[in-house]
Amino acid sequence: MSNERKVWRNGKFIPWEKASVPLLSHGFSRGSAIFEVFGIHEGPEGPFAFRMDEHLKRLMQSARLLGMEMAYSTKEIVDAVAETVKANHLGRGLIKILAYWGEEAIIQMVLESKLDLAIFAIPDSEELGLDKVGPITACLSKWRKIHPETVPVAAKSCANYLNGYLARRDANRRGFDVGLLVGTDGFLAEGSIESVFLVKDGVLKTPPLGRILSSITRKSLLQAASTIGIPTSEDSILPEELFVADEIFTSHSGIKVSPVARFEDRTLPAPGPISRRLIELMENILHFRDDRFKEWLIALD
Ligand SMILES: Cc1ncc(COP(=O)(O)O)c(C=O)c1O
């Protein structure tokens, strides 16, 4: 995949295999980097980015929450994303933006320099399976979601993903695809890299913001569901509610709705009727067949 792929780094294109940092850089050795990932779609007039404005807002917010300074403005990053898509002839795929301290920081905890910025264009592949909506299996993780008073969980920082890594590893070892984390308050939070939704008696429910990442897909699904008359709720959810839910699904930028066919020892319809309506709605939006949400698709020119 790396052959001839170009990475935008600090204003210049470099070969994919040269996009590296020193082992002792703050970003690598302290895990302090922040990032964003969003989908690129092929539109009738060229490539589009799904809600890039929201993703870049979140990137800026991650930097602010962690006291880090970005070296580039939102407008400069928008232009750099468009250039990266073009330089890599990216069709359906993902953009990953990493902001990080690439300089060596052997003992320093705090750096004052602005963050380096790298933008990667990642084409869809069998492994990535961006448009797959195949059913998945999920379990409750033995790990708790990191507490928001220990680190800001609304910041999309690489360091926070050790928590997600443990949840996924634990789930995989138990034979499940995805592990769902409960917060230290005892309420359902989210998965390693995904939000969680359940349907009960026709209501689409998802945990509230505050202890989870402010997911762009979660926000989009809540907005889209309301528009088509599906009642929604963002109240705290006890993990027990998953055992009596009519439908469960997870969501993230790569795959908008992944229906859960097995949760612990329960079998569920996957997709159930409401999940199916949301899958179809998102498909229509992403294929430019629903004008109500056309501002979510941002042309890259
Ligand atoms: C912890 C976590 N929750 C939820 C999500 C979904 O967020 P988004 O819809 O913005 O991709 C992600 C995505 O990476 C995530 O890492």
What pLDDT does 19 receive? 97
User: 193 C-alpha to center of ligand 1: Å?
Assistant: 5
Residue 141 and residue 280 share a domain: yes
Report which protein residue has its CA nearest ligand 1's atom 4: 194
The CATH number that applies at residue 148 is 3.20.10.10
Domain boundary among 71, 100, 123: 123
Residue 113 and residue 164 share a domain: no
Percent of the chain with pLDDT over 70: 99
pLDDT in tens, 57-67: 999 999 999 99
Residue 22 and residue 108 share a domain: yes
What pLDDT does 131 receive? 83
What is the overall mean pLDDT for the chain?
96
Using alpha carbons only, give the angle 86, 89, 93 rounded to the nearest 5 degrees: 100
Check if the beta carbon of residue 211 is closer than 8 Å to that of residue 148: yes
Query: Is residue 204 a part of any domain in this protein?
Result: yes
Residue 262 and residue 222 share a domain: yes
For the CA of 216, the nearest atom of ligand 1:
10
- Whether residue 195 has its Cβ less than 6 Å from ligand 1: yes
In angstroms, the CA 5 to CA 127 distance is 18
Query: Is residue 300 a part of any domain in this protein?
Result: no
pLDDT in tens, 262-301: 999 999 999 999 999 999 999 999 999 999 999 999 999 7
User: 34 C-alpha to center of ligand 1: Å?
Assistant: 13
Residue 23 pLDDT greater than 70, yes or no: yes
Region 139-164 average pLDDT: 97
What pLDDT does 64 receive? 98
Query: Is residue 254 a part of any domain in this protein?
Result: yes
User: 192 C-alpha to center of ligand 1: Å?
Assistant: 8
Percent of the chain with pLDDT over 90: 93
User: 217 C-alpha to center of ligand 1: Å?
Assistant: 8
Residue 157 and residue 79 share a domain: no
Residue 189 pLDDT greater than 80, yes or no: yes
Query: Is residue 128 a part of any domain in this protein?
Result: no
Check if the beta carbon of residue 157 is closer than 8 Å to that of residue 33: yes
Domain boundary among 100, 123, 146: 123
Q: Tell me the residue range of the domain where 250 lies.
A: 136-286
Residue 267 and residue 152 share a domain: yes
Query: Is residue 1 a part of any domain in this protein?
Result: no
Query: Is residue 294 a part of any domain in this protein?
Result: no
For the CA of 58, the nearest atom of ligand 1:
10
CB atoms within 10 A of CB 291: 9
Region 140-166 average pLDDT: 97
Region 64-87 average pLDDT: 98
Residue 202 and residue 259 share a domain: yes
Residue 207 and residue 154 share a domain: yes
Evaluate if pTM is beyond 0.85. Answer: yes
Domain boundary among 123, 153, 185: 123
pLDDT in tens, 106-117: 999 999 999 999
Residue 118 pLDDT greater than 60, yes or no: yes
Separation in Å, CA 26 to CA 33, 58, 149, 156: 8, 21, 23, 16
What pLDDT does 298 receive? 95
What pLDDT does 132 receive? 82
Report which protein residue has its CA nearest ligand 1's atom 14: 193
Residue 206 and residue 80 share a domain: no
User: 292 C-alpha to center of ligand 1: Å?
Assistant: 24
Residue 205 pLDDT greater than 60, yes or no: yes
Residue 2 pLDDT greater than 80, yes or no: no
Residue 250 and residue 217 share a domain: yes
What pLDDT does 3 receive? 63
Query: Is residue 129 a part of any domain in this protein?
Result: no
Residue 166 and residue 46 share a domain: no
In angstroms, the CA 121 to CA 116 distance is 17
What pLDDT does 255 receive? 83
Residue whose CB lies within 8 A of the most ligand 1 atoms, among 215, 223, 286, for a mutation test: 215
The CATH number that applies at residue 33 is 3.30.470.10
Report which protein residue has its CA nearest ligand 1's atom 8: 215
Check if the beta carbon of residue 247 is closer than 8 Å to that of residue 269: yes
Residue 180 and residue 41 share a domain: no
What pLDDT does 134 receive? 86
Count structural domains, the chain: 2
Query: Is residue 267 a part of any domain in this protein?
Result: yes
